[in-house]
Amino acid sequence: ATANIGVVGLAVMGSNLARNLASREGNTVAVYNRTYARTEELITEHPEAGFVASESIDDFVASLTKPRTAIIMVQAGKGTDAVIEQLVERFEPGDIIVDGGNANFHDTIEREKRIAPTGIHFVGTGISGGEEGALKGPSIMPGGSEESYETLGPILESIAAVAEGEPCVTHVGTDGAGHFVKMIHNGIEYADMQLIAEAYDLLRTVGGLEPAAIADVFTEWNKGYLESYLIEITAEVLRQVDAETGKPFVDIVLDQAGSKGTGVWTVQNALDLGVPVGGIAEAVFARAVSSKPAQREAVQKVVTSRPDVQKVDSSFADDVSKALYASKVVAYAQGFDAIIAGAEKYGWNINKDKIAKIWRGGCIIRAQFLNRIADAYDENPDIATLLEAPYFADAVAEGEAAWRRVVSTAALSGVPIPGFGAALSYYDSLAVPRLPAALVQGQRDFFGAHTYKRVDKEGTFHTLWSGDRTEIETEGSSH
């Protein structure tokens, strides 16, 4: 046995990860794929990697030094289970199986539970950054046992992206914590993309700018507080011209956005955890709305006139950048709230500032901005929301007037802004001293005797709505 690490599954992600591993000092990489032709292709195209290739899973396992460590990069679901089974049959206590695919964290928790009695470590690991990240340095979110991280940590650190001198990998927490945090990352990614898309729509529809001019605006924004990979690539997409028609690329793309599921998982789990993630949810729903051509056509048929677009001046783009930033802060605050709630429910000790730090490089939401989040949680890990951290409180306060102008201008102009709107409503919901939830409690008590609490004394109360409408104290809970 000569290889300190192995990769199973050599489609695009596995091949790139294997090449990344092989390029790092000290690694000898074993590779295996169900269909050998793929393995052959990889080793032929990349002799420099010095791969130890096996045609059979037995030979692959035999090629690994102990503790054996193998990263699975196959199709999530059945494919992953099939490979796990093959490895569990052959591995020994202390060996490590890493699932680097996009598994649902609930599956990861189950798999870890099932495998733990064998003494083999099962480490569900979120890997973000797509094909390029896998090859050049992804952001890596491993779960699993502390013990497994002693072996695995240095290997993952060697291939991860580097941000400000630090590798973008940390032991997130036990069992499914890594895949959970990767899921939230993707939820935040959905929100960030939607917010940027709304900013584009406003600059175009209300601001009257053409895509190429908006690309220039985004390039400028990318030099300031909005600096991020997503802003950078958005400028490139907007600058692209379709070779066939000569039109802006964005105008020849069908406006129906798809999704692969992790955004939906984020929202489903946030609902289960009772965490309001409206900014993320609206981004997921916005894609769903876009993909309902029948409903869009039906309404477009009955709508006879659209509102006139509001007149704006040259300060509009600056307003939009501030609205975008404030809305983005809300989306990230909600994402971190979901991480906190998940950690509590599933018993993970998640270090929030470390999570913000490992997202600074390699992944899709990478940005300077994450340093501010890391600072906020580093200064006080117990803040109730990122919106109370001094830096963000100031930033949102500074952009607040612009944020309101943009949301109202959008509403008056008929530009859909589910992301900006949901973010502002969430912010206002937290900021007002009293919410109409009091009335909702009254309604619930009226029709369902759900009871309520009072602002002026302890206890749980019910009003005899169908009787003489006097109040009685009850044992029940008002929630």
Active site residues: 182, 189
Q: Which is nearer to ligand NBP, 15 or 63 (CB)?
A: 15
Q: Is 253 helix (H, G, I), strand (E, B) or coil?
A: coil
Q: How far is CA 462 from CA 159, 318, 436, 449, 466, in A?
A: 61, 51, 18, 6, 11
Instruction: Specify the amino acid at residue 359.
Output: W
Tell whether 130 is in a known binding site: yes
CB of residue 262 to ligand NBP, shortest distance in Å: 9
Q: How far is the CB of 9 from ligand NBP (least distance, A)?
A: 4
Q: Does 21 belong to an annotated binding site?
A: no
Say if residue 152 carries a ligand binding annotation. no
* Residue with the shortest CB distance to ligand NBP: 101
Phi, psi of 77 (to 5 degrees): 100, -125
Q: Least distance to ligand NBP from the beta carbon of 47, Å? A: 21
Query: Taking the complex as a whole, how short is the minimal distance between the CB of residue 129 and ligand NBP, in angstroms?
Result: 6
Shortest approach of ligand NBP to residue 165 CB, angstroms? 24
Q: What are phi and psi of 471, to 5 degrees?
A: -100, 135
Nearer to ligand NBP, 31 or 214 (CB): 31
CB nearer to ligand NBP: pick between 133 and 399: 133
- Residue 330 known to bind ligand: no
Q: Known binder of ligand: residue 69?
A: no
Nearer to ligand NBP by C-beta: 97 or 275?
97
Residue closer to ligand NBP (CB basis): 74 or 231: 74
Alpha-carbon gap, residue 379 to 371, rounded angstroms: 12
Within 10 A of 273 (CB to CB), how many other CB atoms are there? 16
Q: Which residues contact ligand NBP by CB under 6 A?
A: 9-14, 33-35, 38, 73-76, 78-79, 82-83, 101-102, 127-130
Cα dihedral 120, 69, 138, 124, rounded to 10, equals: -10
Please list the residues that pair with 162 across neighbouring strands.
Answer: 167
Categorise residue 466: left if φ over 0, alpha if ψ from -120 to 50, beta otherwise.
alpha
Question: Do residues 346 and 183 make contact, with C-beta atoms less than 8 angstroms apart?
Answer: no
Q: Provide the CA 134 distance to its chain's centre, in angstroms.
A: 17
Residue with tokens 């029940």: 476
Q: Is 14 annotated as a binding residue?
A: yes
Binding residues for NADP(+), as ranges, are 9-14, 33-35, 74-76, 102
* Residues making up the binding site: 9-14, 33-35, 74-76, 102, 128-130, 185-186, 190, 260, 287, 444, 450
